[in-house]
């Protein structure tokens, strides 16, 4: 026999009804979540635009820097790389060629003691010693004992090896980084002390004075591998003779750094030429950075009239307008220029596609400008009134601390915060709503059970009367 409660259960569990009611009531929450997703996508898109614009600004700063020579770089060539190595020509402002002869390179001062038998005690016979050593602007006085404790309260003479090793240890300790003192075993029984300056040149030679006792015996008889008068490098450039304490030379030719590696047997040359390939590559990097800004903005502000699809920043006019504003500024001429000057980007072969993409239209024209008129090309990128610097100023109005992007990001962040709070509030409401609906269905279930009981009682009564 069917019952009221069985009819209810055949239809569905009340939990299904509760879930369906909550789902219907959750539509507002879902709309808020969609809005939150949109705002977060906007925030991510603004970050991408900011990154692209900042990279564009950095590239302009790099090209406009007076120390980078990004638009006037040089390539260098040494006719004998094994004798003269060119390190940098970044300080030069024009091509040049220099003739160089290397008479000698700068040397480290190395002094060697006489060879002695290590196990003997010859040095101890000269008693304790003292010596003053000067290297560069450092002077130290070293004292060495020649006897040691014999273990029974007395003393015994130290061996030559012990005395010379003690002297070497003191030198290394006092002149750390300036002098290297080493004791070598020349064969099974003989030793030799080496004192070597760690900086080249006459001014850094090892000067020994005031030696007494055993140290006088060691130092008075030292020999030098290189005569002190020949410790400095000696070379000529274009007939002018130079003497330097180091082999890396930065002050002989203003703007040029080079290193002397060995003596030359004939006159060599150091050639500095304009590096058009690198300069052109730097301009290409600038173009790419601009195009990255243009493409980043286009991808995030597009709208498809057929499908209705649009980018996350399509509604932000200030972002949409930046690409156009930069292109319009790029077409301007530098103030004060006249016909024949390099005042516009088009004067060096740079133009735009219809979609706003910057490109090198005339590569030959650009190379000619870089080779023949590099100062004007540099002015086009560095002068305050140049189109490039005006573009940089426009870009900075977006990326500065209180700029346009900061204001937009702040607005989006506030919107995200509000939506988070509204969603949290809505979820709390839905949780309470679900419990309320479950309570209602529980009460309904109780009513059905009570009704069923009454129904069963009536049926039973009627059944009993029939008999």
What's residue 445's pLDDT?
Answer: 74
274, 299, 328: which is the final residue of a domain?
274
In the chain (467 residues long), the average pLDDT of successive 10-residue segments reads 46 73 90 92 95 97 91 94 94 91 98 96 95 97 94 92 97 96 96 98 97 96 96 98 98 96 98 95 97 95 88 91 93 90 94 94 96 94 95 96 94 95 93 87 77 74 66
What's residue 16's pLDDT?
Answer: 84
Is residue 2, in this structure, part of any structural domain at all? Answer: no
Q: Does residue 87 share a domain with residue 120?
A: no
What's residue 4's pLDDT?
Answer: 44
Residues 6+ apart with CB under 8 A from 208: 111, 131, 132, 133, 219, 222
Is residue 1, in this structure, part of any structural domain at all? Answer: no
- Where on the phi/psi map is residue 69: left (φ > 0), alpha (ψ -120 to 50), or beta? left
Q: Does residue 270 share a domain with residue 342?
A: no
Q: Does residue 345 share a domain with residue 238?
A: no
Q: Does residue 294 share a domain with residue 266?
A: no
Number of Cβ within 10 Å of residue 332's Cβ equals 16
Q: Does residue 39 share a domain with residue 90?
A: no
Among the residues of 263-344, which ranges form H helices? 276-301, 317-330
Calculate the alpha carbon distances from 137 to 4, 203, 244, 258 in Å. 110, 9, 17, 26
Q: Does residue 397 share a domain with residue 292?
A: yes
Is residue 461, in this structure, part of any structural domain at all? Answer: no
What's residue 467's pLDDT?
Answer: 54
* Strands of the 248-253 sheet, one edge to the other: 84-88, 256-260, 248-253
177, 195, 230: which is the final residue of a domain?
230
Residue position matching structure tokens 């601390």: 401
Q: Does residue 291 share a domain with residue 435?
A: yes
Q: Could you read off the pLDDT of 203-259 as tens digits, one per residue?
A: 999 999 999 999 999 999 899 999 999 999 999 999 999 999 999 999 999 999 999
Pairing relationship of beta strands 350-352 and 358-360 according to DSSP bridges: antiparallel
Is residue 4, in this structure, part of any structural domain at all? Answer: no
Q: Does residue 246 share a domain with residue 335?
A: no
Q: In which domain, by residue range, is 262 found?
A: 74-106+232-274
Q: Could you read off the pLDDT of 161-174 as tens digits, one per residue?
A: 999 999 999 999 99
Q: CA 371, 374, 376: angle at the middle one, nearest 5?
A: 135
Q: Does residue 286 share a domain with residue 428?
A: yes
Token pair belonging to 216: 């006088």
Is residue 258, in this structure, part of any structural domain at all? Answer: yes
- Please name which of 41, 56, 9, 7 lies closest in space to residue 323, comparing C-alpha atoms: 56
Is residue 163, in this structure, part of any structural domain at all? Answer: yes
Give the rounded distance of the alpha carbon of 180 from its chain centre: 36
- Please name which of 111, 105, 113, 107 lies closest in space to residue 225, comparing C-alpha atoms: 111
Domain count, the chain: 3
- Where on the phi/psi map is residue 193: left (φ > 0), alpha (ψ -120 to 50), or beta? beta
What's residue 459's pLDDT?
Answer: 72
Is residue 439, in this structure, part of any structural domain at all? Answer: yes
Token pair belonging to 254: 């203003």
Give the rounded distance of the alpha carbon of 314 from its chain centre: 34
What's residue 362's pLDDT?
Answer: 97
Q: Does residue 308 share a domain with residue 409?
A: yes
230, 249, 284: which is the final residue of a domain?
230
What's residue 452's pLDDT?
Answer: 74
Tell me if residue 153 falls in helix, strand or coil: coil
CB-neighbour burial class of residue 56 (10 A; exposed 0-12, middle 13-18, buried 19+)? buried
Residue position matching structure tokens 């059970």: 449
Q: Does residue 287 share a domain with residue 197?
A: no
Contact between 437 and 22 (Cβ < 8 Å): yes
What's residue 100's pLDDT?
Answer: 98
Contact between 358 and 290 (Cβ < 8 Å): yes
Alpha-carbon distance of 294 to 286, in angstroms, equals 13
Contact between 107 and 230 (Cβ < 8 Å): yes
Is residue 22, in this structure, part of any structural domain at all? Answer: yes
Q: Does residue 284 share a domain with residue 257?
A: no
Q: Could you read off the pLDDT of 354-390 as tens digits, one per residue?
A: 989 999 999 999 999 999 999 999 999 999 999 999 9
What's residue 260's pLDDT?
Answer: 98
Q: What are phi and psi of 233, to 5 degrees?
A: -70, 145
């Amino acid at each position: 026999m069917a019952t009221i409660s069985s009819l209810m259960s055949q239809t569905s569990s009340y939990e299904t009804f509760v879930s369906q009611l909550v789902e219907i009531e959750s539509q507002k929450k879902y709309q808020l979540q969609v809005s939150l997703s949109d705002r977060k996508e906007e925030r991510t898109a603004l970050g991408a635009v900011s990154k692209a614009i900042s990279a564009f600004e950095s590239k302009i700063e790099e090209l406009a820097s007076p120390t980078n020579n990004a638009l006037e770089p040089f390539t260098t060539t040494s006719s004998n790389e094994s004798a003269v190595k060119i390190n940098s020509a970044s300080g030069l402002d024009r091509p040049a060629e220099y003739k160089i002869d290397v008479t000698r390179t700068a040397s480290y001062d190395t002094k060697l003691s006489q060879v002695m038998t290590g196990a003997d005690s010859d040095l101890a016979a000269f008693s304790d010693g003292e010596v003053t050593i000067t290297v560069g602007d450092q002077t130290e006085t070293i004292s060495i004992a020649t006897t040691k404790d014999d273990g029974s309260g007395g003393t015994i003479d130290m061996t030559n090896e012990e005395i010379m090793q003690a002297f070497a240890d003191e030198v290394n300790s006092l002149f750390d980084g300036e002098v290297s003192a080493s004791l070598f075993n020349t064969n099974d029984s003989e030793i030799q002390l080496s004192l070597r300056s760690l900086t080249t040149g006459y001014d850094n030679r090892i000067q020994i004075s005031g030696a007494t006792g055993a140290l006088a015996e060691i130092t008075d008889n030292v020999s030098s591998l290189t005569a002190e008068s020949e410790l400095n490098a000696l070379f000529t450039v274009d007939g002018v003779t130079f003497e330097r304490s180091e082999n890396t030379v930065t002050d002989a030719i203003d703007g040029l750094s080079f290193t002397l590696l060995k003596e030359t047997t004939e006159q060599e040359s150091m050639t500095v030429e304009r590096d058009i390939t690198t300069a052109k590559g730097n301009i290409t990097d600038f173009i790419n950075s601009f195009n990255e800004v243009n493409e980043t903005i286009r991808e995030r502000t597009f709208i498809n009239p057929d499908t209705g699809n649009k980018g996350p920043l399509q509604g932000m006019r200030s972002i949409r307008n930046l690409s156009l504003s930069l292109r319009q500024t790029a077409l301007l001429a530098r103030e004060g220029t006249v016909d024949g000057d390099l005042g516009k980007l088009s004067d060096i072969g740079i133009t735009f596609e219809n979609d706003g993409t910057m490109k090198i239209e005339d590569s030959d024209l650009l190379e000619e400008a870089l080779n023949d008129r590099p100062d004007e090309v540099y002015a086009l990128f560095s002068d305050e009134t140049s189109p490039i610097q005006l573009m940089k100023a426009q870009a900075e109005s977006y990326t500065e601390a209180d700029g346009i992007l900061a204001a937009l990001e702040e607005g989006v962040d506030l919107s995200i915060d509000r939506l988070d709070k509204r969603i949290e509030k809505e979820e709390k409401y839905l949780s309470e709503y679900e419990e309320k609906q479950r309570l209602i269905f529980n009460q309904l279930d109780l009513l059905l059970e009570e009704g069923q009981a009454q129904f069963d009682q009536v049926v039973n009564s009627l059944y009993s009367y029939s008999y």
